[in-house]
Amino acid sequence: MANNHYDVIILGESLASRIAAVLLAKAGRRVLFAGLPATASCPAWIPASLHLQRLLELLGNSSCLVSAPPFQVLSGQVRLTLHGISALHDELRREFPADSIRVQQLLRELDSTGTRLETALLESEGLPLTGWASRWQFMRKRLLKGLTWGRLARPLANKLKGGNSAQTVQALSTLFSGLALRPIEHLSVAEGALLWRGFGNNQGISARDLNVLLTHHFELFHGEQVSLADLKSVQATDRRLREAVFMNGRRCTAEVFLLGSRDANRLLPGEFRADETVDHPLLAIEARIADGTISPLLAQVLILAGSPPLRLTLLPDSAGSRCRVHCQATGPASDTSGAAQLEGRLSELFPFATLCFEPRAAIQSGPAAVSEDRSRRQKTFPGATSSLIAGEHLLYCCGEQVLPGLGATGEIMVGVSVVNHLQRKIRH
């Protein structure tokens, strides 16, 4: 039985759980990762956050860092290109001639707030979502950096107005709601600041290289990985998770379990399962651009205004190009009318090309509906919909469960925070 006992068993694949797996294995912990090894990949939209830079320093490899790729915001008559040929201030003067000074000031303030906020989190050794000690430590660090709660929790939509024209506000709202894949009304200044601190930075991350790096280092540090499909269930006794049971009869015990994805939620006993109620799931649509010419004015990565905003990635293909679209559904997951509307909007964006859509949109898990308890969590950290502590000896290690509005930035923060918490708790 000794060979089947682990310090940590991780259930499910996410960027947060992969980061946690690597760092825990590096720290000498015995880790069993039940993920999806055949399909493991990192999100394409990963900004070079301070947390990610610290992660690369710990792993002794910064080869993943690249120049941030250009991306565009298309909103009405506005075509704002970030990280392109023109400097940002020139882009703002061209697209927002009457509001450019205000917009520049706004973005500088968000960058400053985001830098100070992320630094406070690093110095606090994680998100303030593991109990009173973490909350007190974070409150102390953020106040030392001049970050008041009222300023961080303020609605981002109100800050974007600031005397700007309706066209400018719409374009800025499209930018931030497209980055977060959430309505602008649901975002706080803290979330907007962290998003802009990452995506407004001229440094980016190669998702492919990061994927290779995490996979290589997990093996290097002797982490063990199995397929989530081979896991039958997770058993609990005395209100504590005890062991993972596999299809072949193998049983593995652990000091701590991490829930890394909603896919693994079904394996847990009922009282340990996360709330699976999803108000507006995420839609993922793939279209092949079979023929025709894509405008050379379009960047490879786009955010398209509308309800909801679309986040598009154009990918080269042997037969032309592919277009990968992510957005938040406007209705229940069973409603396929939203997918048809998205196809129509893409046809307008590529009027001279033939689009071959997948038969139906892929429904992905998305942020859960915000309950009264989760609303209280947002008073601990803006945008948080869950604590990291899911139960006795069970932690959430999935960004979309904890910080759904921050995308890859939230995943990295959650993964690092979980590791720091466990390093303080697990003793040999």
Strand partners, 204: 47, 66
Q: What is the pLDDT of residue 333?
A: 46
Instruction: Return d(Cα 130, Cα 103) in angstroms, integer.
Output: 36
Q: What is the pLDDT of residue 270?
A: 83
Q: What is the pLDDT of residue 237?
A: 85
Strand partners, 72: 81, 302
Q: Which two tokens stand for residue 176?
A: 């931030």
Using 50 as the pLDDT threshold, list the residues of the chain that sit under it: 1, 333-334, 367-377, 428
Could you check whether the bond before residue 281 is cis, i.e. omega within 30 degrees of 0? no
Instruction: Return d(Cα 259, Cα 9) in angstroms, integer.
Output: 9
pLDDT per position as a tens digit, 293-335: 677 888 889 999 998 899 998 887 766 788 888 888 765 544 5
Q: How many CB atoms lie within 10 A of CB 255?
A: 17
Q: Which two tokens stand for residue 343?
A: 């196809």
Instruction: Return d(Cα 351, Cα 390) in angstroms, integer.
Output: 48
Q: What is the pLDDT of residue 48?
A: 85
Instruction: Return d(Cα 374, Cα 387) in angstroms, integer.
Output: 8
- pTM summary value: 0.91
Q: What is the pLDDT of residue 370?
A: 43
Q: What is the pLDDT of residue 330?
A: 67
Q: What is the pLDDT of residue 280?
A: 59
Instruction: Return d(Cα 406, Cα 141) in angstroms, integer.
Output: 21
Q: Which two tokens stand for residue 187?
A: 């975002």
CA 370 to each of CA 326, 332, 366, 374: distance values in angstroms, whole numbers, following the listed order: 21, 15, 12, 6
Q: What does the buried/exposed string (b/e) look like for 157-184 if buried means 16 or more CB atoms within 10 Å of the residue's CB? A: bebbeeebeebbbbbbbbbbbbbbbbbb
Which of 172, 207, 171 has the alpha carbon at shortest distance from 192?
172
Q: Using an 8 Å Cβ cutoff, are 134 and 126 in contact? A: yes
Q: What is the pLDDT of residue 72?
A: 95
**What percentage of the chain carries pLDDT values higher than 70?**
87
